[in-house]
Chain A
Amino acid sequence: MDSFIAVLTIFVLAMIVGFEVITKVPPILHTPLMSGSNAISGITIIGSIIAAGAKYTTLASVLGVIAVAFATINVVGGFLVTHRMLEMFQKPKSDQKEKKS
């Protein structure tokens, strides 16, 4: 029971920190906020790494690989795409993207 209370405490406090910090994100950055938070939710990768490496059963290994792959897509894709978007919000640099249209 004690350990449950301990993790519950962390959960509640983290939620509060989340609300405080994230309400300060301006609407123009809401899309990067979504993709960035998405990448962070890929933290399940650490659970999947252990499962894929421990080789308990064949089924567990297969599922482990899938889980690692899923979470890696989330992490790599999420941070990269966020970076791409945020770069566009930097001060315009001599209209380098002119040709793209």
Chain B
Amino acid sequence: MPQALVNIAYLISALLFVFAFKGLSHPRTAIRGNLLGALGMLIAIVVTLMDKSIVSYELIILGFIIGGVIGAVLAIKVQMTAMPQMVALFNGFGGGASTLVAALAFIEATQLNKTLGTQETVATVASGIIGAVTFWGSLVAFGKLEGIIEERPVRYKGDQIVKILFALSSIILGIYFGLERDISYYWYLVAASSVLGVLLTIPIGGADMPVVISLLNSYSGLAACATGFVLNNNVLIISGSLVGASGIILTNLMCKAMNRSLTNVLFGGFGEIVAGADEDKVYGGKVKSASPEEVAMLLENARRVVIVPGYGMAVSQAQFAIRDLMKVLESKGIEVEFAIHPVAGRMPGHMNVLLAEANIPYEKLKEMDEINPTFEQTDVSIVIGANDVVNPLARTDSNSPIAGMPILDVDKSKTVVVIKRSLAPGFAGIPNPLFAADNTLMLFGDAKKMVQELINALKES
């Protein structure tokens, strides 16, 4: 196949990727978008298979089979609640592949006695560093989300300096690689960046995962992009930058939703201090606990109910029970909507996926800005497994670690029902005055169990 035709095929792939992202702008067109993306990938792969430098196909097919089986099994088997770690894992593999491809391009050039230009050399170093950081960072994120690695931030004295040292040594090794043209320096820099990837992710706690996953997402794109600069391949550059842009946008949104800078998330040490001192002052004697029957009576008389899900819903797999609750309430003529905070859960859009899994129509899932003005007309807000995202301290206490973070204004509704196992603080490690507010009732227990009891009580009455 002449090179011009190959490049045209790559151009078509790149266009299909753009349309794939465009399709994702609405749930109705999203499936078609994803299929267009897959088609673009298929075209790119088929065209590449016709490349004249390929002398045998056994190894390629072997790789396809290994990767295809693993990828398909993981994708089909994964529970929707485990989606954050799955996304993290897939991300990592993308980064790992970029690192290897850059190395292979260098080996190829050495074999063919070609010298790499400055662009290719710099891009090789970039692929090595970004790819390795992505691979190991994603594995650590996966471990944290899966519960294999301690989810709370792990910090020690001087950790920032250690990180800077590893970052610097990666770059210095990269310069040596460029000067000496010796592949072993590349592997040293990959090793140093691997340690860096682990060190960067280890100190980041569970609730900051949405930011980290978005960031790693953008890294995997940038790594592909750097590989594109190594191979002088346009489709790699275009797709890599699309993914990079997507990750950057999401990272930005997540940081804004917490009113924190990216630097603060990455290096700030959020959530390491567990404050317990003023808990008594906030809660002392003011927390009212209710029974499911009492809450059911309250719901009977409501006209509008808003459900606020948080990570606790994912943990107890309560989404199906919540769907049933919605159905029961709706059968009684009560309006039900869902309020979704951007950082609820462990990755962007986490809550939406779980609620969609339970067949809750997406029109009922409202963004923060859209639902906040409606809380004043809401009779009952049910907070299920969320904490920091409904903490009014964000509005009132400028010294609080969550000061200025946009929150869901549930406290403005007539009554707030909080389903939660205990008064334990959320990720920010601070007490939540909402639990002690006059219009708040606490329903202590597991989210799924409590929602089911609510349904039973509603059905009996």
Contacts and interface: CB of A to CB of B under 8 A. Distances in A.
Given A22-B245, A85-B83, A10 B68 contact: no
Chain A interface size, under 10 / 10 to 19 / 20 to 34 / 35 or more: 35 or more
Contacts of A74: 67, 71, 90, 93-94, 97
B63 A48 contact: yes
B51 A53 contact: yes
Interface in B197-217: 213-214, 217
- Specify which of A7, A37, A64, A68 lies most central, judged by the most chain B CB atoms within 10 Å of its CB: A37
B354 to A, nearest CB: 9
A66 B93 CA distance: 10
The prevalent SS among residues of B at the interface is: helix
A63 to B, nearest CB: 5
Contact of A81 (B20, B48, B78, B101): B78
Given A41-B224, A89-B362, A53 B87 contact: no
Given A37-B221, A38-B217, A31 B90 contact: no
Contacts of A72: 63-64, 66-68, 71
B347 A63 contact: no
Interface string A64-89: 11111111111111111111111111
Contacts, number: 385
Given A18-B241, A86-B31, A38 B54 contact: no
Nearest to B252: A23
A10 B234 contact: yes
B94 A18 contact: no
Contact of B244 (A15, A64, A66, A88): A15
B234 A60 contact: no
B357 A97 contact: yes
A44 B353 contact: no
Contacts of A40: 17, 20, 37, 40-41, 239, 242-243
A43 B234 CA distance: 11
A47 to B, nearest CB: 4
Interface in B33-68: 33-35, 37-38, 40-41, 44-45, 48-49, 51, 53-57, 59-60, 62-64, 66-68
Interface string B87-125: 100110110111011011101100100000001000000
B437 interface: no
Interface stretch (B22-30, B273-281, B402-410): B22-30
Interface string A86-101: 1111111001010011
Given A40-B17, A51-B104, A85-B356, A29 B98 contact: no
A36 B234 CA distance: 20
B90 A78 contact: yes
B434 interface: no
Contacts of A18: 21, 241-246
24 contacts: A22-B21, A26-B25, A27-B342, A28-B367, A29-B352, A30-B253, A31-B353, A32-B30, A32-B353, A34-B217, A38-B243, A39-B41, A41-B94, A43-B240, A44-B98, A44-B236, A45-B48, A53-B57, A54-B55, A67-B63, A68-B64, A74-B67, A81-B78, A88-B356
